[in-house]
Amino acid sequence: MSNRTNVDSKKCLFLISGASGTGKTSLVGNILKSDPNIDLSISFTTRKQRGQEVNDRDYHFVSEEQFDMMVKESEFIEWAEVHGNLYGTSRKWLENTIREKDVILEIDHQGASQIREKISESVSIFILPPCWRTLKERLANRATDSNDSIDLRLVNAKKEMFWALSSDYVIINDDFDRAIEELRAIIMSARLTSRQRRRDILEMLKDLP
Ligand code: 5GP
């Protein structure tokens, strides 16, 4: 697989991963509401739409045939099978959006590894639950998944959690407000150290008398 991509790192790219039920989506939703300079990629998936979900807002829901076609046409910058369904990120959307804004991808560790190989400047953030029992309770209380799906998500959560060790940052979501503060701090820190910022500083230095 080619490592080349047209995604220039003018802006920051954040990869947010973590087991189901760790509160990733709520954390990301809070950031999006309060920060107009950051956008979230809407993934394509073959998973069935859940009750409250809206097509093209929560996911682009597609058939397996459509997904396979998109894989063949190299339309995904990354894709993976997660909990028995396929998920992928649009290459074109990312290439266009990252020129204007910072971007968050809420993707699993397989997708995050694929992106980090292609875009080494991306910042990976892993969200952990405070403990195993809390994760089980959160998944059961969500009432969005069948019992089989919850069991599969718990089995996968154990494996997924080891990926915290190779992420750039880890946030333990035991207190939502503190987790948000930590996420904001990571985003701020990445912006302050980004290559674009260094380019801006160089430009400024050139103009000094
Ligand atoms: P859910 O079915 O609960 O919405 O998501 C299940 C898992 O799929 C989550 O861990 C989520 O991060 C992951 N996921 C969602 N979109 C993508 C994507 O585009 N690529 C990859 N690799 N994983 C994704």
Convert the pLDDT of each residue in 164-178 to its tens digit. Answer: 889 999 999 999 999
Q: Would you call 105 helix, strand, or coil by DSSP?
A: strand
Does ligand 1 have an atom closer than 6 angstroms to the CB of 80? yes
Nearest protein CA to atom 5 of ligand 1, as residue:
20
Ligand 1 centroid distance, CA of 197 (Å): 31
Token pair of 132, please? 């195993």
Nearest protein CA to atom 19 of ligand 1, as residue:
88
Ligand 1 centroid distance, CA of 83 (Å): 9
Does ligand 1 have an atom closer than 6 angstroms to the CB of 93? no
Ligand 1 centroid distance, CA of 82 (Å): 7
Q: Return the higher-pLDDT residue of 132 and 198.
A: 132
Does ligand 1 have an atom closer than 6 angstroms to the CB of 25? no
Nearest protein CA to atom 24 of ligand 1, as residue:
107
Ligand 1 centroid distance, CA of 204 (Å): 41
Give the E-state strand segments of the chain in sequence order. Answer: 13-17, 38-40, 44-45, 60-61, 76-82, 85-90, 102-106, 123-128, 169-172
Ligand 1 centroid distance, CA of 108 (Å): 5
Ligand 1 centroid distance, CA of 181 (Å): 23
From residue 24, how far is each of 74, 75, 168, 171, 196 by CA, in Å?
A: 27, 25, 16, 10, 27
Token pair of 159, please? 């494996």
Q: What is the DSSP letter of 163?
A: G
Confidence of residue 209 (pLDDT cuts 50, 70, 90): confident
Token pair of 107, please? 């993707």
d(CA 153, CA 160): 10
pLDDT in tens, 39-81: 999 999 999 999 899 999 999 999 999 999 999 999 999 999 9
The pairing of strands 85-90 and 38-40 is unpaired
d(CA 62, CA 86): 10
Question: pTM of this prediction?
Answer: 0.88
pLDDT at 2: 45
Res 31 pLDDT > 90: yes
Q: How many residues does the chain have?
A: 209
Mean pLDDT of 2-27: 79
